[in-house]
Structure 1
Amino acid sequence: MSNKDTHLSKTLSWLLRHGATKECLNISSDGYISVREILQHRSLRGRYNKEDIERVVATNSKQRFKLRFNNSTNILEIKANQGHSIQISDDDLIQILEPHYETVVHGTYYKYWSKIKIEGLSRMKRKHIHFAKGTLNDRNVISGLRQDVEIYIFIDLTKALADGILFFESENGVILTKGNNIGFLEPKYFWKVIDRRTGASLL
């Protein structure tokens, strides 16, 4: 990806996930913003066009974005598939009702592990905690893990679902949960935690 496309992708991620309200952009309840409007943002105006956005959406390896043509307004719109801190509806997410995934894994770093192993995973300021359906070695994993994670936390999805924790899948295959009523997925749902490099158990 060129530097120009990287800048566009990062700007889109921030605006669509976190900054739309602060930047006074008109965002729909399900997270879409007019492409025409977003191109007028000060970070993008005069530097990018519709074709640039279409290219970045089509070539993004993690499928972070989605375009749609709104038939009622005749306007092309864009949204982020997940990762929001601003409040949008979950209508585009598919609820997971059965534990039919062999692997549900969260990637993290040693600097956070001492707190996570006591408190669990927190959604913090985001709407959801993110998981992948495999590790970085799995070719089918599109999104859900950063490339430099140091620790894999594997989730007992069967146990979590049985306890009433809600899980969803985004359109680009990321597993999402809000956790419990205070936004945590507790350590009792960790069935395995390993060092990504060595495979050594951390539990």
Structure 2
Amino acid sequence: MQNKALSKTLSYVLRHKPEEFGLALDAQGWVSVAELLRALQNQRHEVTPEQLNEVVATNDKQRFSLSADGTKIRANQGHSVAVDLGLTPITPPELLYHGTATRFLASIRKDGLRSGSRQHVHLSADAVTAEAVGRRHGKPVVLTVQASRLHRAGGLFYLSANGVWLTEAVPAEYLQAEDSCRM
């Protein structure tokens, strides 16, 4: 299995549908590497431990983590299944960024950013990363999140193991779009 295909499969299994592979994540989202490899093999995905380690180490978004002893694996964020990643709320920088497609702006203007089927809204520390995220969904737009202001108003922020900022929601009044796409 190619690394990109394996990464997508791992995201599906570890973030969204472990039960489709006969797996159950523990409360923190971990699953045994041995069980995962068996489950992938049962679904006709031939993956070696070395391939799995390579995908974890080289994934450009650092989506996955191995436990310190290398016996367990989990996704760093993006779950639609309930897990407790053990993240501690921290003070965010003044501004964070969210990349999306222009077709979603009307809904965002009305409702702000919501986690939808996931546990958190994902935010980036820089506009370049946010634009790349938005481009995956269509014509990109970068929203500036007044994170410090939202934090002072009671919003909780977390920083995942791969540097993605997480929060439950961002009300519209804490968002600004690029000049060409006024909120």
Could you say which TM-score interval applies, normalised by the shorter chain?
0.7 to 0.9
Alignment map for 1:40-119 (pairs within 5 Å): 40-42=38-40, 45=44, 47-70=46-69, 76-91=71-86, 93-96=87-90, 98-99=91-92, 101-119=93-111
Match of 1:188 among 168, 173, 176: 173
TM-score (norm 2): 0.88
User: Deviation digits for residues 125-144 of structure 1, max 9, x if unmatched?
Assistant: 100000000022xxxx5x89
State the partner residue of 1:175. Answer: 165
State the partner residue of 1:146. Answer: 133
Structure 1 residue 94, shift from structure 2 partner: 3.5
Match of 1:133 among 112, 125, 129: 125
CA RMSD across the alignment: 2.2
Q: Contact 1:144–1:174 (CA<8 Å) still a contact in 2?
A: no
Residues 1:156 and 2:156 are matched in the alignment: no
Q: Contact 1:106–1:145 (CA<8 Å) still a contact in 2?
A: no
Q: Supply the distance in 2 between the matched residues of 1:103 and 1:60 (Cα, whole angstroms).
A: 26
Residue identity in the other structure for 1:7: A
Q: Structure 1 pair 18/46, CA: closer, same or farther in 2 (3 Å)? A: closer
- Percent identity (aligned): 32
**Structure 1: gaps of 5 or more residues:** 180-184
| Greater per-residue helix proportion | 2
Q: Secondary structure at the residue paired with 1:108?
A: strand
State the partner residue of 1:26. Answer: 24
- Aligned positions, number: 179
State the partner residue of 1:124. Answer: 116
Structure 1 residue 40, shift from structure 2 partner: 1.6
Q: Supply the distance in 2 between the matched residues of 1:127 and 1:144 (Cα, whole angstroms).
A: 22
Structure 1 residue 201, shift from structure 2 partner: 4.6
Structure 1 residue 90, shift from structure 2 partner: 3.2
**Structure 2: gaps of 5 or more residues:** none
Q: Supply the distance in 2 between the matched residues of 1:174 and 1:144 (Cα, whole angstroms).
A: 14
Q: Structure 1 pair 49/30, CA: closer, same or farther in 2 (3 Å)? A: same
TM-score (norm 1): 0.80
Structure 1 residue 147, shift from structure 2 partner: 6.1
Report the more deviating stretch, 13-22 or 37-46: 37-46
Residue identity in the other structure for 1:153: L
Q: Supply the distance in 2 between the matched residues of 1:22 and 1:178 (Cα, whole angstroms).
A: 27
Question: After the TM superposition, which parts of structure 1 deviate over 4 Å for at least 4 consecutive aligned residues?
Answer: 42-46
